[in-house]
Amino acid sequence: MSENKMINITIDGKQLSVEEGKTVLEAARQANIEIPTLCFLKDINEVGDCRMCIVEIEGRRGYTPSCIQKVEEGMNIKTNTPALIEARRVVLDLILSNHDRKCLTCTRNGNCELQALAEKYNVTEIEYDGERNEYEIDELSPAIVKDLNKCILCRRCVATCNKVQEIGAIGVANRGFASCVSTASNASLNDVNCTFCGQCIEACPVGALKEKDSTQLVWRKLRDKDAYVVVQTAPAVRVALGEEFGMEIGTNVAGKMVTALKRLGFDKVFDTNTGADFTIMEEGTEFIERLKNNGVLPMITSCSPGWVRYIEMNYPDLLPHVSTCKSPHQMFGAIIKSYYAEKMNIDPAKIFMVSVMPCISKKFEITRDDMAGAGYSDVDAVLTTRELARMIKQANLDFTTLEDSGFDDPMGEATGAGAIFGTTGGVMEAALRTVSEVLEGKELNKLEFKEVRGEKDIKKADLQIAGKDIKVAVASGLANAKKIMEEIKNGNADYQFVEIMACPGGCVMGGGQPIKSSKIRATVDVRKKRAEGLYSIDEKSQFRKSHENPAVKKIYDEYLEKPGSHKAHELLHTSYVEREKYKM
C-alpha cells in the first residue's frame, strides 16, 4: 500500500509537510494556526462563501478562501496580515449590518460563532448600517423556532438538511439582498416535510434556529403547590449536560444532574433508562412473536420520533414494519401516571411529567395522538439538555461543585442496557441481550454485541440465535434510513430486525444537545466521546440486561402481568398515521 504524497508548504513562516489533498485550513489547524471560519462545516458545508477564512498566497492576486483551497507544493501562505484582518472586519461589519443584534436576549448569547468573531476582531460599531430585511418569526411547530432576522445566510442548516438528512425541508430562496433560507412556498416548518430532528439547530452558528422553549411552563408548574411535578432524564443527557458548564465532552454527570433537578424543586427525579428497559421487554417480545408467527419483518425500532415522523410522511405503506412500542420516556410517563400513581396514592391528574431529552422531536412526540395510556398525557413537557442547563444557571446553582445524588426509588433502578439506548446501535444491542436469552433459554456467554457498535452510518450483522439465522441492520441519520427503507420497499432487504435513529450517531448527537462550534466538530469526535460515556455506564452497571431489572420485573408481576399483555398494550404501545409532506 503506497504512502500518501506529502506536500511542503509554509504558513506564517512555519514550514510544514502535509498530505496531498488537504486544504489550507486543515494544514493550518494541523500546525495549531487558527484561521477563522463561519460558513464552514466539515464534510457538510465547504463552500468558501462567507470569506472569513481568506488567506494570502504568495504569487496570487487577491484573497483565497482556505476552506476550499488545496495545498500545493511550495505554497507560501499568510493568515494574519493587517490587510487580512481589516478585510475580515469589513466582512463582519457587512454581515452584522443585516443581523438582529439583540444578543443579550438570544439563546446563543455566549455560544455564538458570529458574536465570538465580532469580539475577536473588535467590531464594536457598524460602519455600513443601512437597509435591513425583516421577517416574521416562525414558531408554529411544536419543536423549532425559525427567526430569519438572525440568519447570516451561511447555509450550514440547508446543507445539513439536504446532505446529512436528505430531507430538503429548507433551501435558499430569492436572489441578492433578498436571499433567505426558506421552505417551499415560504410555509411554516410545521407545514412542510420537516421531521423536527433539530440537526439544523446544531449546525446554525447563530440563533436563527432554536428549540421551542418549555422552561417557563416548567417553572410555573414547579411553583404550583397543587402540582406533583416529576422529571425523567434520558441516557444521552447525562453524558452531555456537563459540557454546558465547561466539563469534558462525554463526562457522566448523572449524580450532579439529579442533585440539580432536586434543587430546582422537582418532587421526584426518575431515570428514563428504566423506561428503556420497559421498551426492550415490549419490543423484544413483539419481535419474538413476529419471528415465530410469520409477522411483518423486518421489524423496525420506534424510539426516535423524528424517524417515526419521517416514515409516516415518506413510506406510509411500510408502517406495519415499525414496532408499536412507544419510546422509553412515553412508556415511563404512562407507568408513572398509572402504576406509580396508584402505589403512592396520588391523583394522576395532578402529576406533571417532565422529560429531559437530547431530542427536540420529543416536543412533537408528546403532541401525537395515542400518547395517553393512563387517560392523561404520558408526558406533559419536554426540556432539551440545553434548556435544563439554562434552568440550572437561572437557579444560580454551581453545577460543577454539586454533590452526587441517586435517582429516586422505587423507579430509579435501571440497567446498562437502558444506558446504551443513547447511542447508535444501543437499542439493537440491548434488545439482542434479552431476545437471545429468551430464545436460547439460558444465560448469555457474552453481553457485548460489538457487531452493531461503531461509527459506521449503516451497520449490518449476521447472528446465530437459538439455531436461527438473525440478520440485523442499524442506521443513524435519515439519509441512511432512506437507504434501508428503499431496500425494504424494493424487496432487497433480508433483515429481521432494524434499528433506525433520526440523528447521525444516535441520541448523543440529538438536536437538543449542547451545540459545538464548527472548529470543535472538525477536530473532536464528539459522538465517540459521548458514546464512550454511555458504554462506561453500561460496563459498571449491576444489571446489564433489561429483563433482569428488579423494578421492571416487580411492575410486570404486580401490574402489567407480562410483556405484551393486554394491559401492557393499553399503556405502552401506540399507533401511526400517514402524514402529508406539505399542508399548503
Long-range contacts of the stretch 119-122 (C-beta < 8 A, 24+): 120/36, 121/85, 121/88, 121/89, 121/92, 122/89
Over the stretch 499-512, which tens digit does the pLDDT of each residue have? 999 999 999 999 99
- Domains of the chain, first to last: 6-80 (3.10.20.740), 93-211 (3.30.70.20), 215-572 (3.40.50.1780)
CA atoms of 400 and 413, how far apart (whole Å) = 25
Is residue 354 within 8 Å of residue 231, measured between CB atoms? yes
Is residue 359 within 8 Å of residue 385, measured between CB atoms? no
Instruction: At 468, give phi and psi (nearest 5°).
Output: -105, 145
Q: Give the DSSP letter of residue 109.
A: T
Q: What pLDDT does residue 128 have?
A: 82
pLDDT band at 455 (very low <50, low <70, confident <90, very high): confident
Over the stretch 458-504, which tens digit does the pLDDT of each residue have? 999 999 988 889 999 999 999 999 999 999 999 999 999 999 999 99
What's CA 393's distance to the chain center, in Å? Answer: 22
Over the stretch 378-429, which tens digit does the pLDDT of each residue have? 999 999 999 999 999 999 999 999 999 999 987 878 999 999 999 999 999 9
Angstrom CA distances, 6 to 21, 67, 246, 365, stand at: 9, 19, 37, 51
Alpha-helical regions (H) of 234-379: 235-238, 254-264, 272-292, 305-314, 328-335, 341-344, 361-365
Give this prediction's pTM: 0.96
Over the stretch 118-135, which tens digit does the pLDDT of each residue have? 999 999 999 887 889 999
3-state secondary structure of 300: strand
C-alpha cell at 545: 440486561
